């Protein structure tokens, strides 16, 4: 194949060479959600809250407060973690299940982190008033001497998803320990692959741009 024709074909393919790099760089950028993990640890039940939320566009739904430092009310889909503010604070509108698959109402033995309250039965989500959108939410509640069975839970895995009205954000409750955190940026291998693809496309474009040398005619 003549070099000029090969160069023209390669030039037409050069935009496609950049596509794998862009695809690799976007891998792992999954949307964050707020997750409540409920699991047994050391003879206790722990509720661990982790994630973040973008509150832009969210809608208010009255005001409320948990009334206890850490709480589970399965029959009304209520979970409180962190230190209760002891006063009513604005609530955000959510939609989702009105109850969990457990039973009863239980106060926590200890808590840590910022206040959060998921109240599916009231379609409300509450966060510490100082919370800033997209920053990490980390808090917990521990129920000493409890098991998932004594709290009335009979299944494992995802037991409910709620959506923050006016946004694309969501809240999940999972029966089971948190999974190892997954980085929101590509790992070393995708980055190496993206770098190789980008370098290859640059070298190819340079070769295409270089003037073609026509060999002497006999």
pLDDT at 61: 94
For the chain, the domain total comes to: 2
Q: Are residues 166 and 77 in the same domain?
A: yes
| Residues across the chain | 218
Contact 126, 117 (CB under 8 A): yes
Distance in angstroms (rounded) separating the CA atoms of residues 97 and 124: 11
Contact 47, 79 (CB under 8 A): yes
Q: Are residues 54 and 132 in the same domain?
A: yes
With respect to residue 130, please indicate whether it lies within any of the assigned structural domains: yes
pLDDT in tens, 159-205: 999 999 999 999 999 999 998 764 343 444 444 444 544 454 556 45
**What is the average pLDDT score of the chain?**
78
Query: Does position 83 have pLDDT exceeding 50, yes or no?
Result: yes
Q: Are residues 103 and 135 in the same domain?
A: yes
Q: When comparing pLDDT for 55 and 30, which is higher?
A: 55
pLDDT in tens, 106-126: 999 999 999 999 999 999 999
pLDDT at 154: 83
With respect to residue 62, please indicate whether it lies within any of the assigned structural domains: yes
pLDDT at 179: 84
pLDDT at 8: 42
Domain interval for residue 8: 3-28+187-209
Q: What are phi and psi of 20, to 5 degrees?
A: -60, -35
Q: Are residues 52 and 11 in the same domain?
A: no
**Does an H or E element contain 202, and which?**
helix 188-209
With respect to residue 46, please indicate whether it lies within any of the assigned structural domains: yes
pLDDT at 131: 95
Nearest to 150 by CA among 98, 78, 102, 80: 102
pLDDT at 156: 86
Q: C-alpha angle with apex 123: 120 to 124, nearest 5 degrees?
A: 95
Summarize the confidence of residues 133-137 as an average pLDDT: 96
With a pLDDT cut of 70, the percent of the chain lying above it is 68
Q: Are residues 22 and 122 in the same domain?
A: no
Q: When comparing pLDDT for 156 and 208, which is higher?
A: 156
Summarize the confidence of residues 59-63 as an average pLDDT: 93
Query: Does position 147 have pLDDT exceeding 80, yes or no?
Result: yes
Nearest to 70 by CA among 37, 116, 39, 103: 116
Q: Are residues 90 and 15 in the same domain?
A: no
Q: Are residues 72 and 104 in the same domain?
A: yes
């Amino acid at each position: 194949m003549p070099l000029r024709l090969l160069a023209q074909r390669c030039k037409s393919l050069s935009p496609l060479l950049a596509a794998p790099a862009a695809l690799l760089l976007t891998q792992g950028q999954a949307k964050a959600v707020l997750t409540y993990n409920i699991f047994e640890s050391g003879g206790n039940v722990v509720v661990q809250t982790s994630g973040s939320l973008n509150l832009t566009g969210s809608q208010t739904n009255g005001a409320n407060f948990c009334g206890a430092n850490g709480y589970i009310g399965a029959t009304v889909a209520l979970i409180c973690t962190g230190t209760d503010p002891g006063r009513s604070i604005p609530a955000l509108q959510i939609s989702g299940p009105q109850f969990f698959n457990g039973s009863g109402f239980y106060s926590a033995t200890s808590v840590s982190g910022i206040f959060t309250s998921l109240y599916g039965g009231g379609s409300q989500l509450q966060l510490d008033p100082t919370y800033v959108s997209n920053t990490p939410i980390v808090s917990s509640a521990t129920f000493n001497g409890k098991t998932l069975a004594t709290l009335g839970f009979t299944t494992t895995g995802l037991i409910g998803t709620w959506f923050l009205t006016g946004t694309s954000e969501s809240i999940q409750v999972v029966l089971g320990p948190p999974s190892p955190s997954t980085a929101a940026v590509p790992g070393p291998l995708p980055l190496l692959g993206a770098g190789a693809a980008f370098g290859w496309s640059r070298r190819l474009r340079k070769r295409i741009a270089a003037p073609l040398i026509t060999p002497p005619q006999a």
